[in-house]
Each structure stands twice: as structure tokens, then as C-alpha cells.
Amino acid sequence: MSHPSRQILADASVFVSGTGTDVGKSVATAALLRALRQAGLAVQAVKPVQTGVEDAAREGDAACYAQAVADMPPGPLPPAATLHSFRLPASPHLAAAREGAQLTVAGLRQDIETHWRTLMAAHAGAGPCAVLLEGAGGLRVPFNEREDTLDLMAALAAPVVIVARNGLGALNLAQLTLDAVRDRGLVTAGLILMPPSDALGTPDEATRAILADNEHWLRARLETEGIPVAVLPWVRLNAAGWERLAQAVRPVAQALAALLRTPSHTAEALVRRDKKVLWHPYTSATHPLPVFAARRSHHNRLVLADGRELVDGMSSWWAAVHGYNHPRLLAALRAQAGRMPHVMFGGLTHAPAVELAERLLDMLPQGLARVFPADSGSVAVEVALKMALQYQQGIGQTRRTRFLTPRGGYHGDTTGAMSVCDPVTGMHSLFARMLPQQLFMERPRCRFDQPFDPASLDDSRQKLAEHGHEVAAVILEPVVQGAGGMWFYHPDYLRGLAQLCREAGALLIFDEIATGFGRTGTLFAAERAGVTPDILCCGKALTGGVLTLAATVCTEQVADGICRDGNVFMHGPTYMGNPLACAVALASLRLLEEEDWQTRVQMLERGLRQGLAPCAGLPGVADVRVLGGIGVVETTEPVPVARLQAFFVERGVWIRPFARLIYLMPPYVTPPEDLARLCDAVGDAVRQGVHLPN
């Protein structure tokens, strides 16, 4: 097993669950305890929640565990423990409620973690300790109105052993349980078949055939997946009987021992392997910025491979607005994967794409009419630029081949998108010879939180007066310039710019990839200005951060202009309209409408204003600004990303600064106490000068 100081609970625990209640989990767990101890491992069997007993130590499953090893030499650990015990013989949520208690997955996980670390500390001389965790009943036994045993198993991320009672129906129950475990990304380490409850009698020929076929079928099915199957005999539970059970369960115990002795992946090893073969964004391949190995995610948390759990302040680059592993999104993903993961969009259509387009058009500013699905945000921008060019050519404006855009913008990393990014802070200096030469106007200088200054439109007015005849479209990020500086400007700028575009005959393109779906406090930033653009790009939060998908949406006028005289729009990605991504996006949009995103974003805005305000005026801070679910601390100099990143991880938060920006864009589901942790971490970094250059 790994060094104790580096060991994490997921690598030192096994969860034993069953296909239902009374299938023999306690006996199977006790047999595994005996077999693992015989293999030389320091193991304890733990019942996180016991119901239906007055005295857990004497009457509960812990007594069964202790009995299984009673004839063995005492090990370094007590054989058994019970963390919570309730008298009512019912499911945990009901039994706990009867005694005025409330169980949560987070609380149970913390209790298990604390218990295990206590074992590690108390028995340090024995080396690393492992725990066998026996669940109550089957996978869907509830702890409260929203969480059940499977949620706890997913939170622990430990390997799983499934126990099934052999007999009629065992194949169905076992396979359904195995599928549910697999769907949650958990490793099944073994299946244990218990003897039928009436095994004392002599089974008839039909029953014997069923039992033998169950064993044969499950062995053949699971052998291909490398999952061992153990079939336990009926025995009297005395010393000889426990030894027979330990021998019978040995194939599963051997698989568990291998897992417990060899952690699935240490953080250090994974990072070393990463450095040899991968190239991360915006960093050197030979001298990359440090990376942290992530193991899993849940709600608004990221869990690193070394076991540390971080409050997420980034929404995975602004996409995971519902948090992580949302059951509705995962259910949509699984359901569509079972029907049709992908099909070409040329000549075919499907319900997820049609329904998604209909739902999008209902949510977008009125007047947009045609949805062109795209692979990513950058591709959506490419599509928008090509739409504008083909539209102008279609209506006879062949001289209109350039785009006008404000400085400070960012629209993606593909060629066309790069050409309309800021020419200084963007990538023009590297790729200037290959990029189309676009027109740039002054960055909107009218702050969102100050009265609108009509003079802020003077430069765009002048540029359109001088070059309007060659401008196909003006493209910009409405209200918020994102990666180009997290700059918030006044919505009236958009109203004035829309009028200037109409007068000049140029189309207006809004890039809402970062701002769409509620991030600025309105569903789309365009709503703040009451402006409908000719073309709008959206992405990022479209699927709730589960899969890559974007869309370019245009008015009927633009579509008609492109397609007049029999012309067609010349773009068609291979994975356009991917049914899997469309199904998840549809579920994500439904969640937005059902779960009161406005109230959640308003709470984020209040918390960010309060939490980041103390940073204003501190050394090295140029500005502090908040809009909707975006909080920004702008520094006077570029920040040392690696040093800040390490500081934040040590503080238990995930914040990824860049350039002169330390910013927060947390998931909408972030609770107030976690938002306060994020803001406190930023404040502490600034107060301690971690943001200052070396």
C-alpha cells in the first residue's frame, strides 16, 4: 500500500453494497474482512449507518464482523465499528428522522474520512489502514429526500463489491445493480453470490438448474470485464464456517488486496505522465505551468487525485453553471447514449437537435430565427463570420469583406476568430501574416456602473463613416469583454452601435459564448440593451459544462440573403448537431428555467460585491468590479499564475488567474459559505502580496 501520508480514502476503502435488503451483505463483508486480514492487510469493517438495533456493538452488523475474526490473532485494528446507529428498523432517512437526526452524503463522507484518519493516527505503527464499508440495503436506499447510497458511493469513489442472493431473479437484479455502479463511474471489484435463503433444504432439480445457470452466466459475463465472482456456500457461522466463507470469497479478496496495495493513481505519478505526453492550453510544452491532477467532481467541488477537495470558482471556464454531475444532465446523457450517440447531420435530423433549437429560439432575443449547431465557441464565431460574408455577397455587397470590432475583445483561437481578437493582447503578433486584416475601434470606455457617455461611440461612428462600405459586420461581446479583460461596459453602447450598423449597412454580431445563459444577470446580455443582433453566438454553459456544443443563430433576413438564387451556406462540421450534446443541452436549458437561475445569480452578485470589496485600494490592485455572477480583481501588473494557483489550492479553492485578472465565475449552485471562501481566498492573496510580481 502507498505511504500513509500520501494515501487517500478512495484508495484505502471498499464499499460493499447489495442488490437489495437481506441479501447477505453483512456475512459477505465479514468474510472479506477475514480473507483480507489473512492476506496481511490492516483492515476494519465499518457500518456507516446501522438501523433496527438498540446496541450496535452487540446486535448490529459490527457483531457479525467481530465474530468472523474471533478465532484469529488480534490484528492492529479493532475488527469492527459503527458510525451511526438508529433503533427503527427502516431505511436510514426514516430511522434518523425518527430520532431527530438528519443524514447527508457530505456529512457521512466526512465521518468516514475522520474515522479512517483516526485509525491511521492511532495505529501508525501498523502501516496504512483500510476500511470495508457496508451500505444499508441496496444502491437506492435514501439518506434524505435527495441523496441515497449510490450518491455516497460516488462521493467516496472507492471500489465496489456487489452482493446478490442467488436464486430466481438474481441475474436481473445483479446486472441492473452493476450497470448503475458503472454509470456512476465506479469500479466494480467483485460480485459475491450468496446462497438462497432456503439453502438448508434440498433444492429440486429446477432450482439447482437456476442456481448453476446464474453462476455460469454471471461468471461468463463479468469475466470479460475482469470482475471476479465468488459463490458462497451455506455454512454454520462458527470458526470452521467462517474459514470456508473466507476461502470462497478469496477471488474477490485478492482483487481488493491488489487495489488496496496499489493506489489507482497517485497525483505525483499522474502529473509526471502528463508532462511527458500532453500539452496544456497557453503554456510551454517544455517548461509548462504546474498542473493539479483532478480525480472527480460533484456539485460545486473538484476533488484532486491526492484527496484534497476544492471549492470551484471557475465553472470550468464558465461552462458548469449547474455545478458538476447534475443528475438531470447525466440522465439525459445516458438516455441519449443508449438511443443514438451520433449521426451525421447532412440529410438527417433528430429530436434532440430540433427540440434544442426550438427551446433556444424561445429564450433568445426576439427576431432570431435559424439555429446552426457548432462544435465549440470558436467554431460558432467562424460560422458567424462566414454567415456575414455570404450574406453580403448574396445581396450584392461584394466589397464588404472585413469586420469591425472593439479592442480588448476575445472570440476564440481559430483563424477567423483570432482575426477579430484584440490585435495587441491577442495573437496577431504571432500569426499576423496569415490572419485576415480587420478593422479595430476603441474599446467601449463607458463603465457599466456609471452614467452612459454618448462620446464613447465617437470612434465607432468615425470608423463606420470611413470604412462602412467594406464592413460586412461588427462583432463584439455584449456588455462584458471576457477573456480580453473582464471589462463591463454600459448597455447603451450596444443600442447606439446597433443604430450605427443599420445606417452603415453592416450586420451586428453578438458573441454571447461567455455571457449567455444568465451569467450577467439576464438570460442573455443583449437583453440589457433591448437589442436583437443579426447573428448571435452562444456556447460554454449551453450544455452545463458536460459536453462541447455551441450554436450560431441568425435572423430570417440573414438566412434569406445567404440562400437567395439557390445558394447554400458553406459550412458543415462532422459532429454538427451531435445528438448526445443536444440532449444534454436541452436538459440544461430546462434546468435553467426550472431552478430559478435569476435568484441564484443575484445571490452570487451580492456575495461577490461584499466579499471582494475589501480588495479595493490594496497595493497592486487597479480595480474591483462585479456584474451578475462575475467578480473581478484587476491588478496593476500581470500576476504570477503558478504562485497564485498554488496558494489558492492550499486554501481549498480552485481559481485560475490570468494576465492582470484574478476573477471568479462560480457555478450558480454555489452556497453562500463557499462563495465567502472563494472571496476570502482572493482577499488573503492580495493582502499577503501573492499577486505581486517577483
What is the C-alpha to C-alpha distance for residues 545 and 543, in angstroms, rounded to an integer? 5
Buried b / exposed e over 115-150, threshold 16 CB at 10 Å, is bbeebbeebeeeebbbbbbbbbbbbebbbbeebbbb
C-alpha 218/C-alpha 648 separation (Å) is 48
Contact 230, 195 (CB under 8 A): no
CA-based nearest residue to 476, from 496, 502, 462, 497? 497
Measured in degrees and rounded to the nearest 5, phi and psi for residue 69 equal -120, 15
Question: How far is C-alpha 348 from the chain's CA centre?
Answer: 31
How many other β-carbons are positioned within 10 Å of the β-carbon of residue 282? 9
Side chain identity, residue 75:
G
Give the integer Cα–Cα distance in Å for 75 and 304: 32
Distance in angstroms (rounded) separating the CA atoms of residues 168 and 196: 9
Report, as residue numbers or ranges, the catalytic residues: 282, 410, 511, 540
The three cell numbers of residue 496 are 447606439
Burial class (CB in 10 A: 0-12, 13-18, 19+), 103: buried
Residue 136's nearest CA partner among 26, 33, 12, 9 is 26
Q: Among candidates 114, 116, 126, which has minimal Cα distance to 45?
A: 116
Strand (E) or helix (H) holding 370:
strand 368-374
**CA 369 to the chain's CA centroid:** 31
- Tell me which amino acid residue 533 is: P
Let me know: does 584 contact 547? Beta carbons within 8 Å.
Answer: yes
Backbone angles phi, psi at 155, to 5 degrees: -65, -35
Question: Rounded to an integer, what is the distance from CA 670 to the centroid of its chain?
Answer: 13
Q: In angstroms, how far is the first alpha carbon of the chain from the final one? A: 40
Q: Contact 540/381 with Cβ under 8 angstroms?
A: no
Q: How far apart are CA 61 and CA 237, in angstroms?
A: 14
**In contact, 62 and 45? CB cutoff 8 Å:** yes
d(CA 224, CA 418): 48
The residue type of 191 is L
Dihedral pair phi/psi, residue 377, rounded to 5°: -60, -45
Pairing label, strands 13-18, 160-165? parallel
HEC assignment per residue over 525-588: CHHHHCCCCCEEEECHHHHCCCCCCEEEEEEHHHHHHHHHHHCCCCCCCCCCCCHHHHHHHHHH
Q: Give the residue from 491, 548, 544 showing the smallest Cα distance to 516.
A: 544
Query: What is the CB neighbour count within 10 angstroms for residue 617?
Result: 8
Is the distance from CB of 532 to CB of 506 less than 8 angstroms?
A: no
**In this structure, what are the phi and psi dihedrals at residue 300, rounded to the nearest 5 degrees?**
-110, 30
- The answer to whether the CB of 606 falls within 8 A of the CB of 659 is no
Query: Residue 545: left (phi > 0), alpha (psi -120 to 50), or beta?
Result: left
Phi and psi, residue 49, nearest 5°: -135, 120
Burial of 590 (0-12, 13-18, 19+ CB in 10 A): middle
Nine cell digits for residue 146? 435527495
Instruction: Give the sheet arrangement for strand 309-312, strand by strand.
Output: 294-298, 301-304, 309-312, 653-654
